Amino acid sequence: MKICMIGSGYVGLVSGVCFADLGNNVICVDKETNKIDNLKNGIIPIYEPGLEELVKKNFKNGNLNFSTNLKDSVSKSDIIFICVGTPTKKNTNAADLSQIFAVTREIKKSIKKYKIIVTKSTVPVATGDEIEKILSTSKLKKLFSVVSNPEFLREGEAIRDFIYPDRIVIGTSEIRANKIMKNLYSPLISKGANYLNTNRRAAELIKYASNAFLASKITFINEISNLCENIGVNIEDVSIGMGLDKRIGSRFLRAGPAYGGSCFPKDTRAITDTGIKFKTDLSLIKSVIKSNDNRTNLLLKRVQHILKNKIKDKIICFLGVTFKANTDDMRESSCLKMIPFLSKKGANINYFDPSGKKKILQKIKNVNYLSSIKEACLNADLVIIHTEWNEFKSINFKNLVKKKNFSIYDMRNIYSYKKMKRDNIKYFCIGR
Ligand code: UDX
């Protein structure tokens, strides 16, 4: 099929290259000339395991192309995926849809024959209706269908998540559009992927409700881990005990720092805004947002307790600063709150992250990026394990850290506290 992905960020690039790898003819469009030039030279704008190889392979075999020319790309394609950003609008909880509507107006100019316009960006309920309104002129009436096809990709596992999705959700009540979309996804359906056709608003809501539910599950287990700390019970035993109940499920029950990233924080906020628009009080999700916002303060209190409230001139080492492992993404990472707070308290912060140095941390006083775990840990009074990268899972801290009475705060519970105790290491963790 001839496909055009508008917006070559996370969603557009990963989905686009995967569609190309399934044998479709894909054009990834972006208004940033640099990004497009780089992509043509195999330079990938995001950190995602396996993406570079797949882009190079499909660009070479001609299935995948890059362009800044939206008009031309749309006219050459039958299915147009809108994959531009929908960040939170400043000082609101609402999603900013300005890019969605700007692209829609551009697409409108290039519709000469029947096309399917698909929203793959995360868009609030009824956005498809707005897009349809913009496109609807007497001339274009029968020449397009607007479909919702939300993505459920996780950063760090995006290609795997595309090829082996738990479900493919297609929001349209038009038989013709549904038939074409089902055909597009038939290679994944034949591999066992569930295909769900529902109406457009339901598909839009499935995305938000799913993210809000996952964020609630994480926040729930984080709160239970606080209780475990006060009772003296191991949260992992509780997670396992809960997760064995198929109604609950074992995934997304790992307690840790506040959830972050480009999706959960933004989408939980946006769905509460949709609630207001449709006169529905989503009090549960509001509590989840509040609890998650408080979580970082709670963990910071713990840090101060570990350092006996003597933060000034202490050397604190962060292992991992992104919002989770296997990504270079700092968006809504809890480190963006923790590090400035500790720096203001007079601490010296060294950090190492396998995905490299972070521009956003450069402007904070006494914060240094070190290019190895060894260098970052060497003079530490406290080592904070913030993300669960594999390379953090078998560190011999006694060999690495010079100071005798250093402490470790393992915010991802990747080490056994019994072993740490045996090694006489002052070890703190989550809910254990
Ligand atoms: C999420 C959704 O999983 C994905 O389906 C959607 O398309 C985009 O948003 P992503 O933001 O990449 O994906 O991250 P995810 O792996 O879901 O983690 C989100 C946050 O939850 C991270 O901060 C992570 O550390 C945290 N998390 C996740 C936990 O604290 N415990 C868990 O058990 C799982």
- C-alpha 247, offset from chain centre: 25
pTM over 0.75: yes
Q: Per-residue pLDDT for 205 more than 90? A: yes
Distance (Å) from CA 324 to ligand 1 centroid: 8
Nearest CA to ligand 1 atom 7: 152
SS3 call for 233: coil
Give the whole-angstrom CA distance, residue 242 versus residue 332: 28
Q: Per-residue pLDDT for 375 more than 90? A: yes
Closest CA to 262 of 153, 384, 389: 153
pLDDT confidence of residue 351:
98
* Burial of 176: CB neighbours in 10 Å, binned 0-12, 13-18, 19+: exposed
Residue 232 sits at φ, ψ, to 5 deg, of 90, 35
Q: Per-residue pLDDT for 141 more than 80? A: no
- Per-residue pLDDT tens digits for 96-107: 999 999 999 999
pLDDT confidence of residue 388:
96
Nearest CA to ligand 1 atom 15: 154
State the closest ligand 1 atom to the C-alpha of 158, by its place in the atom list counted from 1: 12
Find out whether the beta carbon of 389 lies less than 6 Å from any atom of ligand 1: no
**What's the chain's Rg over C-alpha atoms?**
24
What is the CB-side half-sphere exposure of residue 395 using CA atoms within 13 A?
26
Of all residues in the chain, the percent with pLDDT exceeding 90 is 98
Give the whole-angstrom CA distance, residue 226 versus residue 249: 21
The secondary structure of 150-173 as a DSSP string is ---PPTTSHHHHHHS-SEEEEE--
Give the whole-angstrom CA distance, residue 152 versus residue 263: 10
State the closest ligand 1 atom to the C-alpha of 260, by its place in the atom list counted from 1: 23
Give the residue, out of 11, 218, 222, 392, with the most ligand 1 atoms within 8 A of its beta carbon, to mutate for a pocket test: 218
Backbone CA torsion sign across 276, 278, 279, 281: negative
pLDDT category of residue 217 using cuts at 50, 70 and 90: very high
- Per-residue pLDDT tens digits for 226-278: 999 999 999 999 999 999 999 999 999 999 999 999 999 999 999 999 999 99
Q: Which amino acid is at 241?
A: G
- C-alpha 147, offset from chain centre: 23
Average pLDDT, the chain: 97
pLDDT category of residue 46 using cuts at 50, 70 and 90: very high
SS3 call for 66: strand
pLDDT category of residue 142 using cuts at 50, 70 and 90: confident
In the block, residue with structure tokens 């999705």: 165
Active site members: 263
Q: Per-residue pLDDT for 138 more than 80? A: no
The arithmetic mean of pLDDT across residues 156-185, rounded, is 97
Going edge to edge, which strands form the sheet with 194-198?
64-67, 25-29, 2-6, 79-82, 115-119, 144-148, 167-171, 194-198
State the closest ligand 1 atom to the C-alpha of 222, by its place in the atom list counted from 1: 30
Tokens of 213: 């539910």
Give the whole-angstrom CA distance, residue 50 versus residue 315: 36
Find out whether the beta carbon of 252 lies less than 6 Å from any atom of ligand 1: yes
Element (H, E) at 26: strand 25-29
pLDDT category of residue 397 using cuts at 50, 70 and 90: very high
Distance (Å) from CA 270 to ligand 1 centroid: 17
Give the whole-angstrom CA distance, residue 188 versus residue 181: 12
pLDDT confidence of residue 137:
83
Distance (Å) from CA 160 to ligand 1 centroid: 15
pLDDT category of residue 139 using cuts at 50, 70 and 90: confident
* Burial of 286: CB neighbours in 10 Å, binned 0-12, 13-18, 19+: middle
pLDDT category of residue 400 using cuts at 50, 70 and 90: very high
100, 113 Cβ separation under 8 angstroms = no
Q: What is the DSSP letter of 146?
A: E
Backbone CA torsion sign across 325, 330, 333, 337: positive
Is the pLDDT higher at 170 or at 138? Answer: 170
- Per-residue pLDDT tens digits for 303-319: 999 999 999 999 999 99
Nearest CA to ligand 1 atom 31: 254
List Cα–Cα distances, 318 to 168, 180, 300, 393, in angstroms: 38, 49, 13, 14
The arithmetic mean of pLDDT across residues 188-204, rounded, is 98
